[in-house]
Chain A
Amino acid sequence: MKDFNLPDLGEGLQEAEIVAWHVTEGDNVVTDQPLVSVETDKAVVEVPSPYSGKIAKLHGEEGDMVEVDTPLVSFDEGEAKDAGSVVGDVQPKGDVKVEEAAVEASGPAVNKAGKATPAVRALAQKMGVDLAMVTATGQGNVITAADVETAAADIAGAEPLKPLRGVRRAMARRMAQASSEVAPATIMEDADLQDWAEGQDISMRLIRAMTKGCEAEPMLNAWYDAQENGLRIHNKIDLGIAVNTDAGLFVPVLHDVGNRSSEELREGFNALREAVEARTVPAEELRGATITLTNGGPLLGKYTTPIVSPPQVAILGVCRARDEVVAHEGEIAIRRRMPLSLTFDHRAVTGAEASIFLKAVIEDLAQAN
Chain B
Amino acid sequence: MAEVTMVQAVTQAIGRALEDDENVVLMGEDVGLNGGVFRATEGLQQRFGSARVIDTPLAEAGIAGTAIGMAAAGLKPIAEFQFMGFIYSALDQIISHAARMRNRTRGRLSCPMVIRAPYGGGIHGPEHHSESMEALFAHMPGLRVVIPSSPVRAYGLLLAAIQNPDPVLFLEPKRIYRTVKQDVPDDGVALPLDLCFTIREGSDITLVTWGAMVQETLSAADKLSELGIEAEVIDVATLTPLDMDTILTSVEKTGRCVIIHEAPYTGGFGAEIAARLAEKGLLHLLSPVLRVTGYDTIMPTPRTEHYYYVTEEKIIEAARKTVAFPETPEDLTPHQTNVA
Question: Does B302 sit within 8 A of A, measured CB to CB?
Answer: no
Contacts of A142 in B (CB 8 A): 326
Residue in A115, A117, A140 whose CB lies within 8 Å of B285 = A117
Give Cα distance in the complex from A209 to B288, angstroms. 61
Q: Are A119's CB and B286's CB within 8 A?
A: yes
Q: Which residue of A lies closest to B327 (CB)?
A: A139
User: Which residues of chain B (286-340) have a CB below 8 Å from chain A?
Assistant: 286-288, 325-328, 334
Closest-CB distance, B333 to chain A (whole angstroms): 13
Give Cα distance in the complex from A144 to B287, angstroms. 11
Closest-CB distance, A203 to chain B (whole angstroms): 56
Give Cα distance in the complex from A138 to B328, angstroms. 10
Question: Does A78 sit within 8 A of B, measured CB to CB?
Answer: no
Question: Does A122 sit within 8 A of B, measured CB to CB?
Answer: yes
Q: Are B285's CB and A119's CB within 8 A?
A: yes
Q: For chain B, give the interface size range.
A: 10 to 19
Give Cα distance in the complex from A198 to B255, angstroms. 78
Q: Residues of A within 8 Å of B, CB-based: how many?
A: 10
Question: Does A118 sit within 8 A of B, measured CB to CB?
Answer: yes
Residue in B255, B326, B328, B334 whose CB lies within 8 Å of A119 = B255
Q: Are B326's CB and A138's CB within 8 A?
A: yes
Question: Does B282 sit within 8 A of A, measured CB to CB?
Answer: yes
Q: Are A144's CB and B284's CB within 8 A?
A: no
User: Which residues of chain A (102-156) have a CB below 8 Å from chain B?
Assistant: 115, 117-119, 122, 138-140, 142, 144
Q: Which residue of B lies closest to A142 (CB)?
A: B326
Closest-CB distance, A136 to chain B (whole angstroms): 9
Q: Which residue of B lies closest to A122 (CB)?
A: B283
Which one of A118, A142, A144 has the greatest number of beta carbons of chain B within 10 Å? A118
Q: Are A144's CB and B326's CB within 8 A?
A: yes
Q: Which residue of A lies closest to B284 (CB)?
A: A119
Q: Are B285's CB and A118's CB within 8 A?
A: yes
Give Cα distance in the complex from A142 to B286, angstroms. 12
Q: Which residue of B lies closest to A139 (CB)?
A: B327
Number of A-B pairs whose CB atoms are under 8 Å?
Answer: 26
Contacts of B334 in A (CB 8 A): 140
Q: Are B286's CB and A139's CB within 8 A?
A: no
User: Which residues of chain B (257-304) have a CB below 8 Å from chain A?
Assistant: 282-288
| Chain B 229-261: CB-based contact to A (< 8 A → 1; otherwise 0) | 000000000000000000000000001000000
Give Cα distance in the complex from A287 to B33, angstroms. 94
Q: Are A140's CB and B326's CB within 8 A?
A: yes
User: Which residues of chain A (287-331) have a CB below 8 Å from chain B?
Assistant: none
Q: Are B284's CB and A138's CB within 8 A?
A: no
Contacts of B285 in A (CB 8 A): 117-119
Known A117-B287, A119-B255: A139·B326 in contact at CB below 8 Å: yes
Give Cα distance in the complex from A40 to B285, angstroms. 85
Closest-CB distance, A113 to chain B (whole angstroms): 15
User: Which residues of chain B (19-63) have a CB below 8 Å from chain A?
Assistant: none
Contacts of A117 in B (CB 8 A): 285-288, 325-326
Closest-CB distance, A138 to chain B (whole angstroms): 4
Q: Which residue of B lies closest to A121 (CB)?
A: B283
Give Cα distance in the complex from A138 to B255, angstroms. 18
Give Cα distance in the complex from A295 to B283, angstroms. 51
Closest-CB distance, B200 to chain A (whole angstroms): 24
Contacts of B328 in A (CB 8 A): 139
Give Cα distance in the complex from A144 to B334, angstroms. 18
Q: Which residue of B lies closest to A136 (CB)?
A: B326
Closest-CB distance, B198 to chain A (whole angstroms): 23
Q: Are A119's CB and B327's CB within 8 A?
A: no
Q: Are A118's CB and B283's CB within 8 A?
A: yes
Give Cα distance in the complex from A144 to B325, angstroms. 10
Q: Which residue of A lies closest to B255 (CB)?
A: A119
Closest-CB distance, A238 to chain B (whole angstroms): 51
Give Cα distance in the complex from A119 to B254, angstroms. 13
Closest-CB distance, B203 to chain A (whole angstroms): 16
Contacts of A144 in B (CB 8 A): 326
Contacts of B288 in A (CB 8 A): 117
Give Cα distance in the complex from A51 to B38, angstroms. 68
Give Cα distance in the complex from A139 to B329, angstroms. 11
Q: Which residue of A lies closest to B283 (CB)?
A: A122
Give Cα distance in the complex from A138 to B287, angstroms. 12
Q: Are A138's CB and B327's CB within 8 A?
A: yes
User: Which residues of chain B (44-97) have a CB below 8 Å from chain A?
Assistant: none
Give Cα distance in the complex from A138 to B286, angstroms. 13
Give Cα distance in the complex from A227 to B286, angstroms. 41
User: Which residues of chain A (136-193) have a CB below 8 Å from chain B?
Assistant: 138-140, 142, 144
Closest-CB distance, B274 to chain A (whole angstroms): 14
Contacts of A119 in B (CB 8 A): 255, 282-286
Give Cα distance in the complex from A118 to B285, angstroms. 7
Q: Are A118's CB and B326's CB within 8 A?
A: no
Give Cα distance in the complex from A119 to B285, angstroms. 6
Q: Which residue of A lies closest to B328 (CB)?
A: A139
Give Cα distance in the complex from A262 to B16, angstroms. 110
Q: Which residue of A lies closest to B324 (CB)?
A: A139
Give Cα distance in the complex from A144 to B286, angstroms. 9
Contacts of B255 in A (CB 8 A): 119
Give Cα distance in the complex from A245 to B280, angstroms. 52
* 19 chain-A/chain-B pairs, Cβ below 8 angstroms: A115-B326, A117-B287, A117-B288, A117-B325, A117-B326, A118-B283, A119-B255, A119-B282, A119-B284, A119-B285, A119-B286, A138-B327, A139-B326, A139-B327, A139-B328, A140-B326, A140-B334, A142-B326, A144-B326
6 residue pairs, one from A and one from B, having the closest CB atoms: A142-B326, A138-B326, A118-B282, A139-B327, A122-B283, A139-B326
Using a CB–CB cutoff of 8 Å, the interface residues on chain B facing chain A are 255, 282-288, 325-328, 334
Using a CB–CB cutoff of 8 Å, the interface residues on chain A facing chain B are 115, 117-119, 122, 138-140, 142, 144
* Apart from A117-B285, A118-B285, A144-B326, 7 more pairs, CB < 8 Å: A117-B287, A118-B283, A119-B255, A119-B283, A119-B286, A139-B328, A142-B326
